[in-house]
Structure 1
Amino acid sequence: MAPPLTRRTLLRSAMLAAAVPALPAAAGAEARAATLPPPAAWTLLPFGLGDVALGPGVFGAKRQLMLDHARGYDVNRLLQVFRANAGLSTLGAVAPGGWEGLDGEANGNLRGHYTGHFLTMLSQACASTGEQVFADRIGTAVGALTQVREALRHEPVVLTTEGRSGTAVEHVRGSYRYVDLPSGVLGAATEVTLAAWVKPTHDAAWTRILDFGNDTTRYLYLASRNARGVPRFAVTTGGAGAEQGLEGTAALPLNQWSHLAVTLGGGTGTLYVNGTAVARNTAMTLTPAALGTLTGHWLGRSHYASDPVFAGAFGGFDAWSRALTAAEVTALQSGRATGDLVSYAFDETSGSTFADASGRGLTATLRRTWGGPSHPGFLAAYPETQFIQLESMTGSDYTKVWAPYYTAHKILRGLLDAHLATDDDRALDLASGMGDWMYSRLSKLPDATLQRMWGLFSSGEFGGIVEAICDLHALSGKAEHLALAKLFDLDKLIDACAADTDTLDGLHANQHIPIFTGLVRLYDATGETRYFTAAKNFWRMVVPHRMYGIGGTSTGEFWKARDVIAGTIGASTAETCCAYNMLKLSRTLFFHEQDPAYMDYYERTLFNQVLGSRQDAPDAEKPLVTYFIGLEPGHVRDYTPKQGTTCCEGTGMESATKYQDSVYFRAADGGALYVNLYSPSVLTWAEKGVTVTQSTDFPREQGTTLTVRGRTAAFALRLRVPSWATAGFQVTVNGRRAGGTPVPGSYFTVSRTWRDGDVVRVTMPFRLRVEKAADDPALQTLFLGPVNLVARDLATTYLKCGLYRDAALSGDLLPSLTAVSGKPLHFTLDGTEFAPFFEGTEDPTHAYVRRAEPRIVFGNTDSGVANPAKADGTTLLDEVWAAAPFAGKPALVARVRTVVDAWVAAGLLGAADGAKAVSTASAATYQP
């Protein structure tokens, strides 16, 4: 029976309500100013994040860590890569690095994605708390991205920096800008001097100060660094193998001005650095005249397409039609001299051109290596070239093209969330422009090309872009946006899943999970049932067939064969992004069909993998979220994966600022309130004029109290009865037990007219249970209620655990463990501590243990008889306890006798040993 309502219960409810800060009226109105209309097909509707305030507890503590990170991180660092790509000032900000910069894995081919994640996190934080700091940061980002798009629409404009005296022109790394000189700069000169003031800001090899040539056969160049890191000049009419060259002796210093000069004449070439000759070659027979007519005369760009663009500043460039003397070159350090072939001071402060002071009128032009976007709606942190190259790719190579539409999705999603959180029309305009741009590209491609693109691992990954585009369409109403969403159909996958044919083995998990959330939203928009059927069937191919106990899926980012769990466990299991996307899919499916299995999965994954993926430590610079969660024995979670700014750190930021998004749902007709998760919170249901305060320390508390305040309102309260709640689930209303029989894995309904002050108390005792790996039943993971318990031990082999020794008549295995005083949900077994998976520590953990029950033991009494096993691994004790719960000790003893008799008759157990087993069971003492 449920415990009676007490003064302590009421006080706790009042304290929780007081602990949750009220959303300021202005901020709340702003947060709800822009709304996304719910699809007509949804029978359930979510509440806004601002409608559900989290109270103190495990979720509140984790969220606070992420909110502090969101407040403290400099958004200008995220915007650096966008501003650089557009040729705008980066305000001195340093890019985050990792996947969000020009170095590291794949040289920044995914940059921009993390900014989208961060915008979503800020938007969720703003909607949840109403704090102005988050709205201000969103405004900064949206304003900057608006400027970036405008800059990308036009020819690049001079970006000035401080020169040796006066101003100089700056090429920010990642801007892909160079100076294009008119043809005929060198003419048919048989002698030449080339001189430039440069301040390099990056040490990439083969960056060109100048490169005059046709292709990779006839050219002359001056590189700030070659493969050895020193300046090099070369001239050739026969490609790299026929170069005549000069090499310096030391690297040019970064972030300092250096003067380089090359003289070529009379068969001798000399390279000067800061007025000093550092290399001389007396066998240089090639001159500009020998190169003939050249088509490309570039400062800062190479004719070798794979070479990086010069990053740094130009303070001047001059060319003479003779070889200056050493004294003349030295004199260039202290005064300005004007070349007779061409002369640029680079002191312009606006525009896209540079004046020539030589008298020849050879005006130079600032250009991008990739030209410019194909559509004015283009917005990215890198050139459009990745999108273009993808259209002709036949095999994946993420070092060249790394999921450009995935990155576009994150940016689009962040902009939509920013608009919904702050009603900033600039964000919606940017998002709509992105939709227009994508449609302009993809609508022109043949279907066969699209199918090939989307089938490419990694390069063709597009994340949850279909869901985002459907949301964009709901806001914009543009037919082109809905048509765009359908252009991402991967028919082979959709048709297989719609036919319930499992083809997931070998597929990249996170590339495909968000596709199905998008398909559900396409079903909402189009009514095409194959989309919805495919998504439902897909979900059941993953849950439980490719699901680990914590709810995660994938190994090394990929799926293996159905029901292979033990055989896939390693250091790279359970990619965190997969959990995020499976939760999103489960939630979206539940809006259509209220199958409690979706919310059982949601609770499992949220309370275990998602909570456990965030370290319990503050950090202003990193979100401290795992990429993989290794389930191998003794695994230590890595909360700073790879080089930072990974996909999983991005989704981890999002997860931690929307923990409350699925605690409550309401029926579309307003007739019911679903309580899906048990978490301290306050729901404001404005349409009903009521608040519902949930007071609990769940999962440290095995129950919850819900208090209704406000107007009198009639609705059905539907309380989820978790599938694990086999030890009872009791509900009282104002101290009186509610009628009906709660069934695990369903919803229990209390229908009434609710009045101010009504209190509902729910109790749900936890039991310790095990879940077995489908392909190795002896490999098991432990659960207490919804909480996965992991062993903390340095061993790197599976721990062996026996759990039947003191099992209760109910079948609860918990009595075999010893509770740790003062540490809720912590236990010991044979000296090993077991703790909740959700605790974000760096302890070595064992999520799975090897079940070992060597002897028949009842009530901690050892019979001395070996526990026999069948060929499939099922032991005698397994068969006995499979019949739990037992009404009393006689029922258990009767079960033991029945099983023993069957095993003796089958020749699996001797008669004498069988008698010992029965007598031990009869003599033992058991907990209920």
Structure 2
Amino acid sequence: MSTPELDRRGFLRAAGLVGALPLLSPLAGTTAASAVATAATSGTALPAPAAWRLRPFALADVSLGPGVFADKRDLMLDYARGYDVNRLLQVFRANAGLPTLGAVAPGGWEGLDGEANGNLRGHYTGHFLSMLSQAYASTGEQVYADKISTMVGALVECRQALNQPPSVRSVPGRFGTAVESQRGSYQFAQLPTTVLGTAVQLTFAAWVKPGHDAAWARIFDFGNDTTRYMYLAARNQNGVPRFAITTGGGGREQGINANVSLPVGEWSHVALTLAGTVGTLYVNGVVAGRNTAMTLGPAQLGQLASYWLGRSLYPDPVYAGAFDDVNLWSRALTDIEVAALRTQPAYAAPAGRGDLASYDLDETGGQVLHDWSGRAQHASWLRTWGGPSHPGFLAAYPETQFITLETMTAPNYLVVWAPYYTAHKILRGLLDAHLATGDARALDLAEGMCDWMYARLSRLPAATLQRMWGIFSSGEYGGIVEAICDLHALTGKAEYVALAKLFDLNRLIDSCAGAQDILDGLHANQHIPILTGLVRLHDETGDDRYLAAAKGFWNMVVPPRMYSIGGTSTGEFWRASGRIAGTISDTNAETCCAYNMLKLSRMLFFHEQNPKYMEYYERALVNQVLGSKQDKADAEKPLVTYFIGLTPGHVRDYTPKQGTTCCEGTGMESATKYQDSVFFAAADGSALYLNLFIASTLRWAANGVTVEQSTTFPVEQGTRLTIHGNATFDLMVRVPSWVGPDFAVTVNGKTLKVDAVPGTYLRVARSWRSGDVVTVSLPFTLRTETAPDDRSLQSLCYGPVNLVTRDASRSYRSFGLYRNAALSGDLLPSLTPVEARPLHFTLDGHQVAPFYEGTEDPTHVYFRRSEPTVVFGGRNSGVANPVRANGSSLLDELWSGAPYGSKTELLKTLDTLTNSWVTDGLLSAGDRSAVLAAAKGATFVA
């Protein structure tokens, strides 16, 4: 493995984490700073692509200062610090047949019993690795590195175990020792096809200790397929054992249901006898069910293809639990003989060993279960899915998830649920672990995964790949292309570029590159990270088609499908462009979508310094991303939203699906990398971009300076930069589109005479000297944003902050805001500030607060705008506010012309405007006079 040479100016000691590794808490003194520096240098750098005009800084280079971002981050760091990672590793160890150390998986989507059969398990482990990596890169705390090392070491052991044949797991038995099929290991015993011989009658007896209460897991299943078989299930749909035999499929089964269940975690003796027309089922030596009308037995089934203990011929769960003293006889034991088996092993009981097969199950390893009947019917201990197709395979479930996807034509997450998405999360986590700590084992695991994927996917026809990636949910692969490209940048292996291109979804790429909007009806988060991957694929290949697709896609989402908090999607899907009001629901703004749109916006800004990308970044970060994290500590869950409902009175749910969904995963990552886009540097070191106004300190080693940003933004309407060290560079200050008319920049107390245009970057060129201070004034104004498909549905924004009404009503509230509008156009005078609570107001008796506060209060993000009469400075003209056919009112048109330099200027505009409304027949002359009189008598705030 070779590591490419770093960018010669040394930007980004860990740029490979481009937004993957988070920020640290405020560090006190040189000891803390040294700890972070140690963490940074212990990692491995990922070189920034040559195509990037800007370079991000490593998380270790930017530390957070006090404020809302640090507060939210610290809550997540505490969770990361205390959570037992063995719980996350449980599913990997179980799949590999390794001891799980008594750990219990988190549940929800992450666990053997997770939603949809646990078919997404393993994804959360990847997220957690990324979060730990960001936490370590940011803080240098050894606890995070130790957890990373534990997880990586366990995954190494799991991969090794997966590449070896399964070995018998010995546990204490009913008599001596027993063998156990651990839940999640997919292990079972295969008996020889000669085990029943020509038997006409049959007795099967065994001690079983179920480890799980799954229905239809088989104690044994002998058969050819789902037409010809006989089985004994530990539990049927009613929770009791069932025996069935058929030669005509499930609809023609002859069966026996027991009248008692088998307790989980306890030994029970089960036996079945078949003789003539009588079949009897025993539990603990007592008859539990009998069928006296049987016409089928071993002779009628004939020679069968499969004789299994613990596995089903149907897609049923594999039996989880232990077996002991399994015996088969070619006769039907008597009730007395069966009863005796409850107190002694078969070899010591009156019945003696089974004459067909007798398994003591005292093995402590290996794959052979010895038969002591004298017939040498030795059994084999196997996995249901055999073994990996390539030694690099690593997952928390069998490779069958990936194999089955290759033939699927329709989505079914109960069968296959996004295996390549899960692979992406694991791969990303391993890369982040390597980049943060330098652990070569993590890189080896990552390379192995990509080698395995290339071996699988490169043999598939192009049409198969296009079909796979187009399947909703099952074919979702997240940001795997981005991770593969990063691995290519680290290793230089050409096959990784070839692998990344195998994920091309041509219909999406071609339509987005050609500005053809096909997003209506698509699953949002399945597609957003694809485009981030395409940007990286452009970086590695130079193919402009990929970059064009990403830019075209971004414009289809922002702003046409964006809610005011920066989120997108409803019920995980997109609707038609421009439909905002028509999509409001309790399942808007999936949090993963915001996470991935931030990554895409950030990456596009590296290529093209269009301020719109960072405008969006700020909106989504300050509102949805911050607001998705609850302001509360929890040792078991990250407390992050999945959906954010925008219906009136919605209460945010911070613990969906037990806290292990995709959005909790990305939420963990978001909360540990808030600082990743505060500053960027020009590729040649000639400029420093100030993108976000967040309290933070940048250590720009390449230029020999430290830049300290002091602010309580967004509470404070400004920020202050102090330069430590001497250097010449351009300071590029973002002038937000929301900023008020009094935006100003001062250097060492002197105000710069510049024409600052909102929605641009302001260049401050200077040879900086240590101690220089730059102050940026960022005055907020209150404005509304209107849903494009319903002008009456609006949201309140104060500077970058989305303000919500806290109200339990499930109906939209109606508010008017022009009544006290300032000459500047600022609507803030219509709200009443709450004393000692910054950014909190009241409006018509209702509480108004920042969306970013992670409370469980019912909120209204949108409201109905109602301006029934023409009012100026609180003076009501008594005239109904007229409205044009397009929905625009007289007051809308008047205030769209703000700011006004004086009351006289406003009156002049109003005079002209009302005259045109009279001409258009929308306002009477008398009403015009009343409107002008009210305006003249009103007192306006400047």
CA distance in 1, matches of 2:60, 2:380: 51
Q: Choose the corresponding residue for 2:202, options 192, 200, 203.
A: 192
Please state how far the C-alpha of 1:31 moved relative to its aligned partner. 5.1
- TM-score normalised by structure 1 residue count: 0.96
Q: Which amino acid aligns with 1:611?
A: L
Whether the aligned pair in 2 keeps the contact of 1:807 and 1:813 (CA below 8 Å) is yes
SS of equivalent residue, structure 1 residue 781: strand
Distance in 1 of aligned mates of 2:134 and 2:174: 47
Contact 2:43 2:434 survives alignment (8 Å): no
Check if 1:725 corresponds to 2:725: no
Give the distance between the partners of 1:569 and 1:392, measured in 2 at CA.
37
- State the distance in 1 between where 2:712 and 2:681 align: 24
1:309 equivalent to 2:323? Answer no
Partner of 2:730: 716
Q: Distance in 2 between matches of 1:264 and 1:16?
A: 74
Equivalent in 638, 650, 668 of residue 683 of structure 2:
668
Paired residues of 1:178 and 1:369 also in contact (CA < 8 A): yes
* Offset at residue 617 of structure 1 (A): 0.9
User: AA paired with 2:693?
Assistant: Y
Return the letter of the residue paired with 1:873. Answer: G
Deviations 1:292-339 (A, max 9, x none): 2122110001122x2211011112211122222222222222222232
Aligned-partner Cα distance in 2 for 1:240–1:499: 53
- Partners of 2:931 and 2:845 lie apart in 1 by 27
- Paired residue for 1:861, among 875, 888, 895? 875
Which residues in structure 2 correspond to 1:664-813 (within 5 Å)? 664-709=679-724, 711-813=725-827
Q: Distance in 2 between matches of 1:797 and 1:65?
A: 34
Offset of 1:644 from its aligned partner?
A: 3.1
Q: 2:248 is paired with a residue of what secondary structure? A: coil
The answer as to whether partners of 1:781 and 1:849 remain within 8 angstroms in 2 is yes
Alignment of 1:588-607 (within 5 A): 588-607=603-622
State the alpha-carbon separation in 1 of the partners of residues 35 and 581 from structure 2. Answer: 52
Instruction: Indicate if the aligned counterparts of 2:26 and 2:63 stay in contact, CA closer than 8 A.
Output: no
Task: Give the secondary-structure state (helix, strand or coil) at the position aligned to 2:255.
Answer: strand
Question: How much has 1:291 moved relative to structure 2?
Answer: 2.3
- In 1, distance between residues paired with 2:326 and 2:867? 82
Which amino acid in structure 1 is aligned with residue 342 of structure 2? Q
> Which amino acid in 2 is paired with 1:788?
N
Hey, what's the Cα distance between the residues in 2 that align with 1:689 and 1:284? 88
Instruction: Map Cα deviations across residues 85-123 of structure 1 (whole Å, 9 max, x no partner).
Output: 111111111121111123353211111111111111111
Matched to 2:328, the amino acid is A
User: 1:741-797 CA deviation, whole Å, 9 max, x = no partner?
Assistant: 221111112222222221111111110011111111221111111000011111111
Q: 2:852 aligns with which of 821, 824, 838?
A: 838
Q: 2:36, 2:60 within 8 Å by CA — same for their partners in 1?
A: no
Asked whether the 8 Å contact 1:20–1:55 carries over to 2, the reply is no
> How far does residue 520 in structure 1 lie from its aligned partner after superposition?
0.6
**Structure 1 residue 286: Cα displacement:** 3.3
Which residue of the partner structure matches residue 180 of structure 2? 170
Distance 1:521 1:739 in 2: 40
* Distance in 2 between residues matched to 1:791 and 1:889, nearest whole Å: 31
Structure 1 counterpart of 2:133, from 123, 126, 130:
123
The partner residue of 1:235 within 245, 248, 255 is 245
Structure 1, gaps ≥5 residues long = 1-14
Question: CA separation of 1:221/1:804 partners in 2, compared to 1, >3 Å: closer, same or farther?
Answer: same
1:6 — aligned with what?
none
Structure 1 segment 185-334 matched on structure 2, within 5 A: 185-304=195-314, 306-334=315-343
Distance 1:224 1:127, change over 3 A: same
1:645 is aligned to 660
Q: CA deviation at 1:239?
A: 3.1
Match of 2:866 among 852, 862, 880: 852
Superposed, 1:94-105 pairs within 5 Å as 94-105=104-115
Q: After alignment, is 323-332 or 397-406 more displaced?
A: 323-332
Alignment partner of 1:491 is 2:491 = no
User: What amino acid sits opposite 2:574 in the alignment?
Assistant: W
Matched with 2:889 is 875
- What is the identity, as a one-letter code, of the residue corresponding to 2:529? P
Determine the C-alpha separation between the residues in 1 that align with 2:205 and 2:271. 4
Residues of 2 paired with 1:32 and 1:512: CA distance? 35
Q: Determine helix, strand or coil for the equivalent of 1:482.
A: helix
- Checking the alignment, whether the CA contact within 8 Å between 2:744 and 2:751 is kept in structure 1 is yes
Q: Distance in 2 between matches of 1:804 and 1:740?
A: 31
Partner of 1:570: 585
**SS of the residue aligned with 1:627?**
coil
RMSD: 1.6
The letter for the 2-side match of 1:312 is: G
The residue correspondences of 1:373-388 to structure 2 (distance < 5 A) are: 373-388=388-403
Out of 51, 57, 60, the residue aligned to residue 41 of structure 1 is: 51
Equivalences for 1:818-829 in 2 at 5 Å? Answer: 818-829=832-843
- CA apart distance, 1:21: 7.5
Give the match for residue 362 of structure 1: 377
Does structure 1 residue 481 correspond to structure 2 residue 496?
yes
| Residue in structure 2 matched with residue 3 of structure 1 by the alignment | none
* Partners of 1:725 and 1:475 in 2: CA distance: 41
Count of matched residue pairs? 912
Segment drifting more, 94-103 vs 802-811:
94-103
Counterpart-to-counterpart distance in 2, 1:266 and 1:17: 81
Q: Is the 8 A contact 2:190 2:379 kept in 1?
A: yes
Structure 1 Cα separation of the partners of residues 142 and 690 of structure 2: 30
Judge conservation of contact 2:821–2:873 (CA < 8 Å) in 1.
yes
Superposed CA offset, 1:628-655 (max 9, x none): 1111111111111234311111111111
Instruction: Confirm or deny: 8 A CA contact 1:223 1:232 kept in the other structure.
Output: yes
Please give the per-residue CA displacement for 1:278-297, whole angstroms capped at 9, x wherever unaligned.
22333334332332212211
- Partner residue in 2 for 1:12: none
Give runs of aligned pairs for residues 415-430 of structure 1, distance below 5 A: 415-430=430-445
Report the alpha carbon displacement of residue 822 of structure 1 after superposing the two structures with TM. Answer: 1.4
Partner of 1:611: 626
**Contact 1:187–1:288 (Cα < 8 Å) also in 2:** no
- Asked whether the equivalents of residues 534 and 550 of structure 2 are also in contact (C-alpha less than 8 Å), the reply is yes
| Distance in 1 (alpha carbons) for counterparts of 2:650 and 2:290 | 59
Q: Distance in 1 between matches of 2:304 and 2:578?
A: 64
CA–CA distance in 2 between the matches of 1:20 and 1:119?
Answer: 27
* Paired residues of 2:602 and 2:614 also in contact (CA < 8 A): yes
Q: CA offset at residue 163 of structure 1? A: 2.2
* Offset from partner CA, 1:825-847 (integer Å, 9 cap, x none): 00011101110000111111111
The change in CA–CA distance for 1:228 and 1:388 in structure 2 (over 3 A counts) is same
2:451 to 432, 436, 444: 436
Q: CA separation in 2, counterparts of 1:288 and 1:690?
A: 84
Q: Which residue of 2 aligns with 1:920?
A: 934
* Alignment check: 8 A CA contact 1:19 1:56 kept: no
Contact 2:914 2:928 in 1 (8 A): yes
Percent identity of the aligned residues? 68
Where 1:863 maps in the other structure, the secondary structure is strand
> TM-score scaled to structure 2, two decimals?
0.95
Cα distance, 1:186 vs structure 2: 1.4
1:441 aligns to what SS in structure 2? helix
2:96 counterpart (45, 67, 86):
86
Amino acid at match of 1:675: L
Deviation at 1:42, TM superposition (A): 0.6
Residues 715 and 838, structure 2, Cα contact 8 Å, conserved in 1: yes
Q: Separation in 2 of the partners of 1:686 and 1:882? A: 47
Of residues 898, 903, 910, the one that matches 1:889 is 903
Question: Aligned residue for 2:3?
Answer: none
2:32 aligned counterpart, secondary structure? coil
Name the stretch that deviates more: 516-525 or 217-226.
217-226
User: How far is the alpha carbon of 1:22 from its aligned partner?
Assistant: 2.5
726-735 vs 365-374, which deviates more? Answer: 726-735
Deviation, structure 1 residue 144: 0.9
Q: Are the equivalent residues in 1 in contact too, given 2:192–2:377 (CA < 8 A)?
A: yes
Q: Secondary structure at the match of 2:373?
A: coil
